[in-house]
């Protein structure tokens, strides 16, 4: 799908402009169908013998768009020539009344490798992904690891970009940006199946999806190193269990930690009813984590995109409803593979 749009001044002659373009499509032996827009501008489709489809739309506000769809194996040179001809014709017809011209890069639908993934704030990003290196469904989620020429292997869980081998800034941010001394400390990590935090920390317990471990152990070694080769080392233990009952058990036993690092999930984007359970889970994890935190301890977690200010404000309201009063600070970090600024929180008991 190739998109070309023109935005012209309102005094431009729409019928003359459309008629001028029709001659080009006729030369391409494309069949025209005009659609009734009930007074909302002009809309026509043109279908060629080679499977090409062009959608021509003109709005009352002076926006003209041309969407050209072609099949795999189509002659790209011919397609580019058609677009160039259309653009030249429009510039001639509109006599300099053009405010803006934009041709977007081609979008590829139905490719063997999906290159398009949304950001948290709703923008569509095209990654330079060239192959899928791992794709499995666990009992909890779909797990993909895809190779990017720019970012290395990227872990994607249920369609959500989690971590790439290039994303050391994420790991550093969720561990305090090098300001903490973990030597000899007890650290509890919730989530973190990619092994990035585990590779950086000293003494920890982790709760993750076994299949995430399996995939990352093989395909994310630049992030996790060799720490996932064994689930127990001299100074760490990986527990593949539901973290909630384990946290409750620690609370009952009075076990505490110097640091709790929550890498389970980002703050929910909306407060719609379908997100209620996620907010409840988030509050439960927060409350239990603060209870197992030592008086001088710190709780680290990710927030969400820096653009989601309302969502982050709601999360900060949640911090005021915990069973124990807390203070917090936040830091905005650029995570390479996210292609957006990301907010991280440090929380401690008052």
Say if residue 187 is in the same domain as residue 102.
no
5 vs 125: CA distance, rounded Å: 20
Q: Does residue 243 fall inside a structural domain? A: yes
Q: Does residue 269 fall inside a structural domain? A: yes
pLDDT at 169 over 90: yes
Q: Does residue 91 fall inside a structural domain? A: yes
What is the domain range of residue 54? 2-108
Last residue of a domain, one of 54, 86, 108: 108
Q: Does residue 134 fall inside a structural domain? A: no
Domain count, the chain: 2
Residue 73 DSSP symbol: T
Last residue of a domain, one of 51, 79, 108: 108
Say if residue 193 is in the same domain as residue 65.
no
- Joined tokens for residue 211: 């299949």
Say if residue 75 is in the same domain as residue 209.
no
Residue 110 DSSP symbol: S
Q: Does residue 318 fall inside a structural domain? A: yes
Give the domain CATH number at 220.
3.40.50.150
pTM across the whole model: 0.81
Count other Cβ atoms within 10 Å, centred on residue 300.
22
40 vs 36: CA distance, rounded Å: 9
Say if residue 196 is in the same domain as residue 55.
no
What is the arithmetic mean of pLDDT over 189-218?
69
- Judge whether 162 and 153 are in contact, CB under 8 Å: no
What is the arithmetic mean of pLDDT over 174-180?
87
Q: Does residue 158 fall inside a structural domain? A: no
pLDDT at 201 over 80: no
191 vs 255: CA distance, rounded Å: 19
pLDDT at 250 over 80: yes
- Residue 289 parent element (H or E): helix 276-291
Last residue of a domain, one of 85, 108, 131: 108
Say if residue 90 is in the same domain as residue 218.
no
pLDDT at 285 over 70: yes
Who has greater pLDDT, 333 or 213? 333
The per-residue pLDDT for 30 is 92
What is the arithmetic mean of pLDDT over 192-202?
68
- Residue 250 parent element (H or E): helix 243-253
Say if residue 236 is in the same domain as residue 94.
no
- Judge whether 215 and 136 are in contact, CB under 8 Å: yes
Say if residue 103 is in the same domain as residue 212.
no
Residues acting as catalytic residues: 263
The per-residue pLDDT for 203 is 40
- Judge whether 32 and 48 are in contact, CB under 8 Å: no
Say if residue 180 is in the same domain as residue 315.
yes
The per-residue pLDDT for 272 is 60
Lowest mean pLDDT across 15-19, 41-45, 137-141: 15-19
pLDDT at 279 over 80: yes
- Judge whether 29 and 41 are in contact, CB under 8 Å: no
Say if residue 72 is in the same domain as residue 187.
no
Say if residue 293 is in the same domain as residue 214.
yes
Q: Does residue 73 fall inside a structural domain? A: yes
Q: Does residue 219 fall inside a structural domain? A: yes
For the CA atoms of 88, 89, 95, 100, the dihedral, rounded to the nearest 10 degrees, stands at -60
Give the domain CATH number at 49.
3.30.160.110
Mean pLDDT value across the chain: 85
Say if residue 211 is in the same domain as residue 78.
no
153 vs 147: CA distance, rounded Å: 4
Query: What region, left, alpha or beta, does residue 154 occupy, with left being phi > 0 and alpha being psi -120 to 50 degrees?
Result: beta
Residue with tokens 């569509």: 124
């Amino acid at each position: 799908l190739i998109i070309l749009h023109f935005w012209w001044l309102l005094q431009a002659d729409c019928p003359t402009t459309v008629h001028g373009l029709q001659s080009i499509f006729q030369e391409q032996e494309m069949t025209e169908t005009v659609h009734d827009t009930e007074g909302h501008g002009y809309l026509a489709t043109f279908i060629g013998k080679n499977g090409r489809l062009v959608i021509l739309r003109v709005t009352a506000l002076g926006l003209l768009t041309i969407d050209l769809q072609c099949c795999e194996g189509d002659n790209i040179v011919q397609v580019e020539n058609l677009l160039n001809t259309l653009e030249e014709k429009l510039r001639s017809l509109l006599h300099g009344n053009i405010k803006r011209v934009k041709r977007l890069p081609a979008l590829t639908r139905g490719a063997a490798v999906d290159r398009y993934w949304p950001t948290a704030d709703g923008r569509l990003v095209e990654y330079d992904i060239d192959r899928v290196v791992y794709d499995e469904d666990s009992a909890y989620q779909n797990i993909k690891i895809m190779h990017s020429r720019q970012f290395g292997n990227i872990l994607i869980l249920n369609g959500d970009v989690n971590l790439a081998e290039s994303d050391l800034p994420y790991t550093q941010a969720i561990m305090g940006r090098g300001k903490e001394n973990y030597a000899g400390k007890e650290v509890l990590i919730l989530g973190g199946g990619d092994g990035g935090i585990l590779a950086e920390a000293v003494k920890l317990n982790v709760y993750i999806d076994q299949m995430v471990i399996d995939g990352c152990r093989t395909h994310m070694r630049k992030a996790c190193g060799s720490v996932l080769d064994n689930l127990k080392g001299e100074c760490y233990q990986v527990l593949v269990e539901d973290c909630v009952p384990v946290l409750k058990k620690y609370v009952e036993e009075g076990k505490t930690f110097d640091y709790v690092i929550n890498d389970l999930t980002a703050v929910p984007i909306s407060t719609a009813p379908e997100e209620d359970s996620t907010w409840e889970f988030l509050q439960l994890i927060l409350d239990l984590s603060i209870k197992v935190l030592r008086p001088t301890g710190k709780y680290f977690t990710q927030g969400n995109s820096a653009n989601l200010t309302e969502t982050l404000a709601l999360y900060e309201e949640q911090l005021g409803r915990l069973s124990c009063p807390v203070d917090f600070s936040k830091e905005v970090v650029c995570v390479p593979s996210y292609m957006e600024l990301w907010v991280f929180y440090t929380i401690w008991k008052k």
